[in-house]
Structure 1
Amino acid sequence: MNHQDWEMLAALYSTENITKAAEQLFLSQPTLTSRMQKLEEHYGIKLIIRKRRGVTFTPEGEQLAQHAQNMLREQRKIEEKIHNMKNQVTGTLRVGVSNFFALNKMPKLLRLFKKEYPNVECQMVTGWSSEMHRLILNNEVHISFIKGDYPWKEKKELLYEEEVCIASPWDFKWEDLPRMPRIDYHTDEHMKSMVDEWWYHNYSQSPNITIQVNQVETCKEMIINGLGYAIIANLVVRPNSDLFIKPIYHPSGEPIIRKTWMYYHEDALQMNIVRAFIRFIQTLDVKSL
């Protein structure tokens, strides 16, 4: 197998879908199918089984796909080592970024960093914080920006804290919340558990959820347009002065806060590009960007 075969198998293994894998690799679907058939002919075995909504790997195919993933990982390591030997800040930085941070912070950070280090490229993966935590655990990225506290024994930097609050288009009293229309949005389990714990500590009835959306930014727009309130992190809605925003509190009286962290492995600091990026972040007031 060559490098293209590794990429093809790894993409197909992660997506379990020929169309998605072809798009990821910038190939046509027939080209990818043809290359898979040639690989099966070469080994004389069936590697994948086509299903109605995707593909599944045979035991032999799974072994080969996992080998491809390992080879790509080793290839990245040697390329990073070679770049590092140049004693210059060059190469590709791989970063995992939680959804809100990716939308509201990362473009500015990368623009400023690229201005200082123009020879750097960045591969960025976005998603829920739980997924970014998995990526950094598996060494699939150099750095992860994560909302919330996840198990981590390596290096991490606290970037900022923000209060969790009620954001509403109209003024309200606390006892009114169960009757008011609430907008919910998909978020990670940490945030959901925190909000649910606060709610059922203060109210015996369930919230009046009238709208459910996928993204926190969509939720914010719903609030701005007077469709209901939401329990949301302060930074999402802080720029909107027309909203009524009240923080929520633990039973102890302390405000409920959400922390945003930068996670990384200590041995990654041996790479010039990672060391330069982390030092760059440490010089910034990320919250105010």
Structure 2
Amino acid sequence: MGKNTHVGIERGNPHWPNEKRELLQENIYTISNDAIDFDNLPNVPRIYYKTDPAHSMLIDNWWKSVFPDPPLFRMKVDNMEIAKRMTQNGLGYSIVSGKLKNTEGVPLIWTTWLLFLKESLKLTSVKAFVEFITHHYSQRNLTK
């Protein structure tokens, strides 16, 4: 975010030296039409979808920490919904938002952040937006 931007929403782990509030955490998980044998996952066709580079890096780093071999990519599709449909048709597995754990059993988390400059809160519209978004996501997280 530049000096002309008052508020931003970013996913992943942003390097942001100013104010930020966590809005949402999503787990990451594997999906498949068939039962998943994690020991054999490097040999199962994976359906890859285009996503945020930071999201891809999170998944790639997890993969490298768990498996010595690279994934077997069967196809690349435009988005997660297409990947889900492909897995439903038995064409392989995919890694999407949900529940996936590292080797220590800790869930792999994809976080969404609200970023802003503290001095921007002096602007009524920015302050109202930050308060609205913060309240909305805090209520949403309470209903889970």
State the match for 1:260 in structure 2.
112
Tell me by how many angstroms 1:286 deviates: 4.1
Which whole-Å CA distance do the structure 2 matches of 1:222 and 1:141 have between them?
A: 39
Structure of larger gyration radius: 1
Unaligned runs of 5+ in 1: 1-136, 235-246
State the match for 1:191 in structure 2.
55
With CA pairs under 8 Å and 6+ residues apart, which has the higher RCO, 1 or 2?
Answer: 2
Work out which of the residue numbers 228, 233, 256 in structure 1 matches 2:97.
Answer: 233
More strand by share: 2
- Shift >6 Å, 4+ stretches: none
Q: Any idea what SS the aligned residue of 1:149 has? A: coil
Work out which of the residue numbers 181, 184, 187 in structure 1 matches 2:45.
Answer: 181
1:272 aligns with 2:127: no
Which whole-Å CA distance do the structure 2 matches of 1:166 and 1:191 have between them?
A: 14
State the match for 1:37 in structure 2.
none
CA RMSD across the alignment: 2.2
Which whole-Å CA distance do the structure 1 matches of 2:52 and 2:45 have between them?
A: 22
Letter matched to residue 171 of structure 1: A
TM-score normalised to the size of structure 1? 0.44
TM-score normalised to the size of structure 2? 0.83
State the match for 1:169 in structure 2.
33
Which whole-Å CA distance do the structure 1 matches of 2:30 and 2:129 have between them?
A: 35
Unaligned runs of 5+ in 2: none
Tell me by how many angstroms 1:231 deviates: 1.4
More helix by share: 1
Q: Any idea what SS the aligned residue of 2:115 has? A: strand
Tell me by how many angstroms 1:146 deviates: 1.1
